[in-house]
Amino acid sequence: MADNEAGLKAQIAEMQQKLDQLKTTATSSSYDAYQTSLTGRYCSPEMSKLFSQRSRHSTWRKLWLYLAESEHEIGIETITPEALDQMRAHLELTDADFEVARVEEKKRRHDVMAHVHAFGAVAPAAAGIIHYGATSCYVTDNTELMLMRDGIDLLLPKLAKVIWNLAQFAMQWKAEPTLAYTHLQPAQLITVGKRAAQWAQDLMFDLENIEHVRNELKFRGAQGTTGTQASFMEIFGDDTAKCDKLNELLCKKTGFSECYDVSTQTYTRKVDLIVANAIAGLGSTAQKIAGDIRHLATFKEIEEPFEKDQIGSSAMSYKRNPMRSERIYSLARELMSKPASFAATHSDQWMERSLDDSAIRRMDIPETFLLADAILIGLDNVSNGLVVYPNRVNARVQEELPFMITESIIMKLVALGESRQEAHEQIRVLSHQAGRSVKNDGKPNDLVARIKATEFFKPIWAGLDDMLKAELYTGRSVEIVERFCAEGGVLDKKIKPYKAFIEKATTAELSV
């Protein structure tokens, strides 16, 4: 009996131990803490990595190294080669470094100083000179500028790839007549390719705007606590040339052409707004494109890619919902909201700076780039696999074409001597009769049959069937597409700097 009790207690103890282990595992699992959907579901590993804590804080360490190197090169003898070597050896943070910084920040309530101490712990020869003459914004602001620049460099080739996809699609379908819409009502015909060319042109504008912002982006540099370089004037004995040299060296080391002419404790938050406006423009274009595709999918004319085993609806198994376009649309809505937040942050910076910009920028800056990245991934996927149903497209054209040729009929009758007003009235009456038949009775459009049965139109009966060729009514659509989308055309020249990326990405897609 005693043995049984002892065995039972041992079993209970073992089970409790396993339960405790499971609890520990569950507590530390990523499934038990909020994770942003952007990094968990939508954006690329490279963009997620760029805005990771390791990337951010390793950039801080690089900036501290660059500052120390530059000060040493200008003549600060207390910064030794040994100190610089130790800093270079520990630029990328380890998990242990993050733990040291976590403990320090809990004690000091200052994230920059926590990381100064963590860096000094692994580079003791440099512990006394790390951050020499700098304010916190030396590392935080300059890092943001570097990350935004590198983020743009990740976005631009992906944007060019989407433009290239649409250019190829537009050329393939440059002559396929399709209904155009104004007020979402059928209007004069265009071609499937011309509509895609319009999408591509909007994206080209986004590419140009983001390129412009990228080229105009500057560095904050080492400007001191309120942007006067007072601390560096003291370090360099009031030698302004050395202060200028310091920023020249920092720009060279970080890959910027120059510093902003005027800074406060921060670089002006107007820069964030300028960047956000350019990138949010992509959100506007993406929502427009995705919205058009969603409508065309409803009309059953064009669909986004739909995989063999893909499920459109958990309940309605027949459905082919445009989930990719809907995702793009949703992400674009969030991206377009970002400039308002940046504008509010900029406008509310009191005097030379207040810290109420900090928490919100920690979210807004990464999310702006992660959203844009996710949108471009979606657009690339959709634009690279659009499916056109030409028979359906033509059927919808034929439903409306009889109405669209009425103006040509009037012109031909007038040329044969009939009254323009009388021709207009005859067409108006028959058109409304045919329209009522379509709407009230659900019958096909029989306007042509009505015209053939009305004696007034006898002079143009012989040529009426030839007038129903849709390609006669697409205007210069083909020429417009060729001029804009063909090899050597406007788009081809614009995306030329990204051709290597596009070719590599296309090859990778084909090999999957």
In three-state secondary structure terms, 322 is coil
HSE-CB for 378 with a 13 A CA cutoff: 28
| Catalytic residue ranges | 183, 313
Count CB neighbours of 353 within 10 A: 21
d(CA 43, CA 171): 30
456's CB contacts (< 8 A; 6+ apart) are 418, 422, 423, 426
- How many helices (H) and strands (E) are present in the chain, helices listed first? 22, 4
**Residue for token pair 């591509």:** 200
**Residue for token pair 């940046």:** 342
Helix then strand then coil, in percent of the chain rounded to 5, is 70, 5, 25
d(CA 112, CA 131): 10
HSE-CB for 427 with a 13 A CA cutoff: 21
Angstrom CA distances, 15 to 8, 10, 26, 362, stand at 10, 9, 16, 44
Q: Which of 251, 258, 329 is nearest to 289 (CA)?
A: 329
d(CA 265, CA 138): 9
Report residue 82 as tokens.
């040994």
| Secondary structure (DSSP) of 151-214 | HHHHHHHHHHHHHHHHHHHHHHTTT-EEEEEETTEEEEEEEHHHHHHHHHHHHHHHHHHHHHHH
d(CA 137, CA 145): 11
